[in-house]
Structure 1
Amino acid sequence: MSEEKLYAVKNDEGKYLLMDSTPCWDDKAGTAIKRSARALGWAKIYGGHVVTLIEEPEKVVLTKEQAEIVEEAHDNKIPACHIANKSDDEELLMNAYVNGYTVAKEKRYLVELDGLVTTDNAQQYLTKKNGKWFACRRMPGMHQDFTDEELNKAPEWAQQLDREEVTDDAD
């Protein structure tokens, strides 16, 4: 048993030893112990056996495309072969398959129209609505944060403009 692990004492009824002011058995909580020797001692005194507590592994962050490969692998008879055939990053995707994953948020960009302001000095930004591209001050509900893919489909003049990455804390 390694010192990096955590241990608990569990009885045959599935309850854990809770070492509070008065030791007792509880089915909802127990005391985690860093030293295996102490856990063994408590198990000897109070009954039960030592169990190792395992921390949940961190989920892997994947792109949308990588996530699709992992999802397809779940429906495949030989998931490892599916992943190996579809990606060069087998280790990452197998880790995601086993431990779970989250999909990275796609970067979004705000395009300031340099030098273009309203009569009350409000900065204008590239905006799209109903398939039309135009200038508009920053307004909630307006489509003004764009992905790379969206900007690559914008008119050529708009593709030449500087992009500022939008963070979650931006308005």
Structure 2
Amino acid sequence: MTEEKDFWIDKDEVSALSNAEGTVYKVTQKAMNQKGWYKLADDEQIVKIVELTQEDADFVEDNMGLPFYDLKEPLSYINSLHDYVNGKNVKRPRQLLAKLAKAYFNGYTIKKEKKYYIKLNFDFSRYLNIQENGVWWFTNGMPTILGRSQFTQTEIDEMQKDPRAKGLDLNALKVEVHEDELED
């Protein structure tokens, strides 16, 4: 178990944690972790762990066994990384390259997609639930475990095309699910 302690960090490092000014700051480990900074080892090296989409995380995981950069080795992480980024056709390939290189060395977390409840606008105690067999219904009170009540934006867009949604603007009825309430 890692000992909880305070860290002294310099002005360059603190800009990511707050808007404070000065030269040296004392910051708790908890405050750093909340902002995505983690201590790698007991030597107190502090790094920013990157947040990746599931697709990018799958790429990193599939290629972690490769050496990062080896001129003699055609199958290296950096070569695979260039092929992957070129195949994605992104607007800013250098930013994605840097992010995935940091993930190789520092580790990563997977970005959780936002989820939403659909609440009736005239009765805020009713939530849309969808059973596994596709039946839609609105329940009283909190969302039920008998059906799915949390939906991604992509799912909401697909649901909007369903004839049962005729006359409902599901995007206007959506309410973001708090992080503590997220279903897997």
With the length of structure 2 as denominator, give the TM-score of the two structures: 0.54
Distance apart, 1:100 and its partner CA: 0.6
Q: Percent of pairs identical after alignment? A: 25
More helix by share: 2
Structure 2: runs of 5+ lacking an equivalent = 1-7, 11-41, 67-74, 86-92
Distance apart, 1:166 and its partner CA: 0.9
Write the deviation string for residues 109-136 of structure 1: whole angstroms up to 9, x where unpaired.
0111222x4xxxx721221102222212
Residue identity opposite 1:139 in structure 2: P
Q: In the alignment, does 2:153 pair up with 1:139?
A: no
CA-based RMSD: 2.9
State the partner residue of 1:128. Answer: 130
CA radius of gyration, larger in: 1
Q: How far apart, CA to CA, are the structure 1 residues paired with 2:107 and 2:9?
A: 23
Q: How far apart, CA to CA, are the structure 2 residues paired with 1:133 and 1:154?
A: 10
More strand by share: 1
Please point out which of 82, 85, 90 is paired with 2:83: 85
Q: How far apart, CA to CA, are the structure 2 residues paired with 1:99 and 1:59?
A: 6
Distance apart, 1:75 and its partner CA: 4.8
SS of residue paired to 2:179: coil
Q: How far apart, CA to CA, are the structure 1 residues paired with 2:9 and 2:111?
A: 30
Q: How far apart, CA to CA, are the structure 1 residues paired with 2:118 and 2:153?
A: 11
CA distance 1:133–1:4, shift in 2 (3 Å): closer
Distance apart, 1:54 and its partner CA: 4.1
Structure 1: runs of 5+ lacking an equivalent = 6-51
State the partner residue of 2:49. Answer: 59
**Alpha-carbon contact 2:81-2:97 (below 8 Å) kept:** yes
- Superposed, which structure 2 residues align to 1:1-171 within 5 Å? 53-76=43-66, 77-87=75-85, 88=93, 89-115=96-122, 117=123, 123-130=125-132, 131-137=134-140, 138-141=142-145, 142-156=147-161, 157=165, 160-161=169-170, 162=172, 163-169=174-180
With the length of structure 1 as denominator, give the TM-score of the two structures: 0.58
**Alpha-carbon contact 2:127-2:143 (below 8 Å) kept:** no
